[in-house]
Amino acid sequence: MERQPRQPTTKNPPERFTGDVWLDMIASPREPGQHLLAAMVRFAPGARTAWHSHALGQTLHITQGVAWVQGRGGDKIVATAGETLYCPSGEEHWHGAAPDAFMEHLAMSDCLDDVAASTTWLEHVTDEEYRS
Ligand code: MN
């Protein structure tokens, strides 16, 4: 058993996020055959990801605040602390905070051997899409 050094909190890039979003990496592959990626992500009110998809799906566990989540063509889902959402492999979606509340979630996914190829980033979520 090894205690892991705490990684610095990083701010997510504006090319892929609207508003202020901070990330604390928790787990990434260390040994052959491992694919777990886990991060705690904090969104300021109104902040959200761009549209994107995960090659091997993603589980989101809301730990604080009010989350707004939507799959392409689907209804917006409002979720609060303690709820868990699953996004299937390849489904285009976004996730973020409600306009009037912070949101924190634990994001968990399996990555490909090429970690960078595990998430496909698309266009930003417009204010119209966010509010609809
Ligand atoms: Mn996602």
- As given in the structure block, the two tokens for residue 46 are 């109104």
Q: How far is the CA of 30 from the centre of ligand 1 (A)?
A: 22
Output 70 or 6, whichever has higher pLDDT: 70
- As given in the structure block, the two tokens for residue 74 are 């689907």
Q: How far is the CA of 76 from the centre of ligand 1 (A)?
A: 14
pLDDT tens figures, 29-82: 999 999 999 999 999 999 999 999 999 999 999 999 999 999 999 999 999 999
pLDDT tens figures, 54-66: 999 999 999 999 9
Mean pLDDT for the chain? Answer: 97
- As given in the structure block, the two tokens for residue 110 are 């399996």
Please give the C-alpha separations between residue 23 and each of 75, 77, 107, 127, 128, in angstroms, as whole numbers.
26, 22, 10, 23, 26
| pLDDT value of position 87 | 97
Q: How far is the CA of 22 from the centre of ligand 1 (A)?
A: 14
Output 88 or 6, whichever has higher pLDDT: 88
Q: How far is the CA of 106 from the centre of ligand 1 (A)?
A: 11
Q: How far is the CA of 29 from the centre of ligand 1 (A)?
A: 18
Which of these, 50, 42, 3, 4, lies nearest to 23 by C-alpha position? 42
Residues lying with their CB under 5 A of ligand 1, a single-atom ion = 58
Q: How far is the CA of 60 from the centre of ligand 1 (A)?
A: 8
Q: What is the pTM of this model?
A: 0.94
Q: How far is the CA of 37 from the centre of ligand 1 (A)?
A: 12
